Amino acid sequence: KKAYEIIWKDGSPLIENTRKIAKALQTKTGWNVDIAMRYQNPSIKKSILHLKDKKVDEVIIVPLYPHHAMSTTRSTEIYVEKIVEEHYPRLHMKFIKPFFDHPKYISALSKSIEPYLNNKIDKIIFSYHGIPERHIRKSDVNGNHCLQSSDCCQIDCESSKNCYRSNVWKTSMLTAKKLNLDDNKWMMSFQSRVSIIDPKWLNPYTDKEIINFSKQGIKNIAILCPSFVADCLETLEEINLRARKSFLESGGESFTFIPCLNDDDNFIELLNDLILNI
């Protein structure tokens, strides 16, 4: 609650930024665009019932998760299908799939980073929402690929295509390549772990890396959170406030926070393209 109070102004940043995305997409296309939240209001159930009241019989659902994960993309599809089956089975749905390697997503992400790049920055950190390792293994369609070798994420196979860790690696690699970053100038890490849920989460951990950078001579960093398309508690408080404080108190000199894509024109163009080509 205390963390929310620090960043809340006119309401939840996640909801407000998601509304801005919807408004920008509607303005660009003229389509009717509504939002629904998996764990907040407006709820998915309320949104489905609204479609039923309006006698809308076809809808395209855009989960705003760039990467595959059983706890996000898959659970959302399952939940929406359940609500529709219970309350409006005549509704015809199409789901937009994760867009972690879509050229327009990589371009939008790269362009959002470019204004923050300068020769002073020692390292760029792609900080992704962490998930338990068991989720990766459970999602492994082959059952014997994920987390079995140090380069498993870089092997092109069906398991990697559906693997969250592989997806975020590909987003990072393609973006770094687009920006012409040397390998030693960027890294991936994982934030927001909840050890009470599971002791083993994807690593390295953002909060642990942050406090050790200065010992490695890394004094000036830029950080972004590409698993989120809209700024929220995990980006505005966990990274821009808490991680910034930890980095500077442990000997860092400059901490540059790169906002999420939010309603950026290039991101809205990506959403438009995804929907038109579904």
DSSP result, 49-86: HHHHHTT--EEEE----SS--IIIIIHHHHHHHHHHHH
Per-block mean pLDDT, blocks of 10 residues, the chain (278 long): 68 94 98 94 96 97 96 94 97 97 98 96 97 90 88 88 94 98 97 81 96 97 98 96 98 98 98 96
What is the pLDDT, as a whole number, of residue 196?
63
What is the pLDDT, as a whole number, of residue 141?
86
State in words which class domain 103-257 has.
alpha beta
Residue ranges, comma separated, of all CATH 3.40.50.1400 domains in the chain are 7-98+264-276, 103-257
* pLDDT tens string 226-241: 999 999 999 999 999 9
Instruction: Tell me if the bond preceding 13 is cis, omega within 30° of 0.
Output: no
Domain 7-98+264-276 fold: Rossmann fold (3.40.50)
β-strands 254-257, 186-191 pairing:
unpaired
Indicate the pTM of the whole model. Answer: 0.94
What is the pLDDT, as a whole number, of residue 3?
62
Tokens for 174, please give them.
């393609």
β-strands 186-191, 123-129 pairing:
parallel
